[in-house]
Structure 1
Amino acid sequence: MSLVSRLTEKSWETPGAHPAAGGGDRPPAAKVVLVLYFGVAAVLFGLVTSAYLMRMGMPGMAHGPMGGWRPLSEPPLLWGNTLTLFLASFAWEGARITARRGYGPHMWTLAAGLLGIIFLIGQVLLWRVLVAAGHGLRGDPAAAFFYLITALHGVHVLGGLYFWVRALPGLAGRGNAALRVQLTATYWHFLLFVWLLMLGLFVAT
């Protein structure tokens, strides 16, 4: 089977298809796409992080050679949002485990999606808190990078909510619920991992 055919195959609707071609030994196409996505996203965040460090000057220094670098404050809401994202990832793991065992992960899945929405709302409120504290886009490169990086992360969170909506029909008995929940849970774990790396960068610099 060609690579294009594998990537376009809806493996959650036709699990175990093409056994004669050895398809049972290969990962579902959705998993392959997810791994490719992780690679692209990692490169994207890596490039933005490199630009952040270059603008700052040197890691660990408060001011870069171009001047104007002002470390961001750390409002309590920043840590509250981090806890919310952690709880969302934890809920997705609970949904993944219950789905794998053949139980309906209804409560876990619903809670995970709602926590994701709360995280996004918290991020918008965090921006408003930082702006009120004097961290605007103009003349504050640290704040500008923070808004850029968190906006990119927020877009990926929206993507996670899209996959959450796609996983909901499986809870009603349509499609392979276990596979959908598993892939979505992995996606949200990746979002948490990236956020923790970015948080460490902001706190350290």
Structure 2
Amino acid sequence: MNLIRQLTEKPWVPAQARIDDRHRGGTFRLPAKTVALRTFLAVVTVLFTLLVLSYGTRMEFEDWRPTPPLRLLWLNTGLLVLSSLAMQWAEVSARRGEIDGVRNGLLAGGACAVAFLGGQILAWRQLNMLAVFDVANPAIAFFFLITALHGLHLLGGLVAWGRTTAKAWRGSDVAQVRLSVELCTVYWHFLLLVWLVLFGLLFSGNDNLGVLLALCGLR
């Protein structure tokens, strides 16, 4: 009987059971919030990609007059870079369990983001006061559309940032806000990358954009 038991025994079953017990509870599953954010970023990427392609196609028409460069946008870009760096500081602090670093990083990141949005509004006013301003110019219309669409996405991110910051300042444990901080940081980095592409698109000139479209096989 012992010989039969040994022959029919499956030694891999207990080992597999131990592995299943160790990873029970969806260890390898991504949090629902992470999946939702990645899906949203994929949709936003498609949206801005279509916008860039439309911008490049519209430049081919004779009524296109490039938007004059605004120096204020360079300052705004620097503010968004600082905001992204501050959010990265908050994420690193969350991984280290440093709640003070999380709070300071969140506050600095949010303040720079709000300053960026304020700078964008000032850029609108500066463009509106220029003699070359003409809402019938498709370049001007695209400028308002691009900056407004990006600003709305950043404004939405500030809602999530506000909730995360409130949790951090209510005395919540770092572990309770770590995921929220990481997701906010990813979103901030994404919006910075999108803005850098849009910023280069707005002021790179027709020739540079034409080369890019040609490389992509779109011209």
Question: For 1:71-130, what per-residue CA distance to the aligned partner results, in whole angstroms no more than 9, with x for missing partners?
Answer: 112121010000000000000000000011101111111111111111110000001111
Contact 1:135 1:143 (8 Å CA) reproduced: no
Supply the distance in 2 between the matched residues of 1:90 and 1:56 (Cα, whole angstroms): 34
The corresponding residue for 2:38 is 35
Task: Map 1:86-97 onto structure 2 (within 5 A).
Answer: 86-97=81-92
The corresponding residue for 1:173 is 171
Task: Map 1:20-59 onto structure 2 (within 5 A).
Answer: 22-57=25-60
Question: What SS does the corresponding residue of 1:127 show, helix, strand or coil?
Answer: helix
Q: Give 1:135 shift.
A: 4.8
- Counting aligned pairs with the same residue, the percent is 43
The corresponding residue for 1:61 is none
Q: Give 1:173 shift.
A: 3.4
Moved more, 115-124 or 48-57: 48-57
Out of 149, 158, 163, the residue aligned to residue 161 of structure 1 is 158
Q: Give 1:170 shift.
A: 2.6
Supply the distance in 1 between the matched residues of 2:155 and 2:149 (Cα, whole angstroms): 10
Task: Rate the CA distance shift 1:20–1:42 in 2: closer, same or farther, 3 A.
Answer: same
Task: Map 1:141-152 onto structure 2 (within 5 A).
Answer: 141-152=138-149
Instruction: List alignment gaps of at least 5 residues for structure 1.
Output: 1-18, 58-63
- Say yes or no: does 1:122 pair with 2:113: no
The corresponding residue for 1:186 is 186
The corresponding residue for 2:213 is none
The corresponding residue for 1:79 is 74
Supply the distance in 2 between the matched residues of 1:173 and 1:73 (Cα, whole angstroms): 48
Supply the distance in 1 between the matched residues of 2:82 and 2:135 (Cα, whole angstroms): 34
Supply the distance in 2 between the matched residues of 1:91 and 1:125 (Cα, whole angstroms): 23
Supply the distance in 1 between the matched residues of 2:55 and 2:24 (Cα, whole angstroms): 48
The corresponding residue for 1:101 is 96
Moved more, 74-83 or 172-181: 172-181
Question: For 1:7-37, what per-residue CA distance to the aligned partner results, in whole angstroms no more than 9, with x for missing partners?
Answer: xxxxxxxxxxxx8754111111111001001
**Root mean square deviation, CA, Å:** 1.6
Q: How high is the TM-score relative to the length of structure 1?
A: 0.83
Question: What SS does the corresponding residue of 1:45 show, helix, strand or coil?
Answer: helix
The corresponding residue for 1:5 is none
Supply the distance in 1 between the matched residues of 2:142 and 2:39 (Cα, whole angstroms): 26
Question: What SS does the corresponding residue of 1:69 show, helix, strand or coil?
Answer: coil
Question: For 1:159-187, what per-residue CA distance to the aligned partner results, in whole angstroms no more than 9, with x for missing partners?
Answer: 11111111013313337211111100110
Task: Rate the CA distance shift 1:200–1:163 in 2: closer, same or farther, 3 A.
Answer: same
Which letter does structure 2 place at the counterpart of 1:91? Answer: A
Question: What SS does the corresponding residue of 1:24 show, helix, strand or coil?
Answer: coil
Supply the distance in 1 between the matched residues of 2:87 and 2:156 (Cα, whole angstroms): 15
Q: How many residues align?
A: 179
Supply the distance in 1 between the matched residues of 2:133 and 2:51 (Cα, whole angstroms): 19
Higher relative helix content: 2
Supply the distance in 1 between the matched residues of 2:133 and 2:114 (Cα, whole angstroms): 25
The corresponding residue for 1:199 is 199
Supply the distance in 2 between the matched residues of 1:34 and 1:49 (Cα, whole angstroms): 22
Q: How high is the TM-score relative to the length of structure 2?
A: 0.77
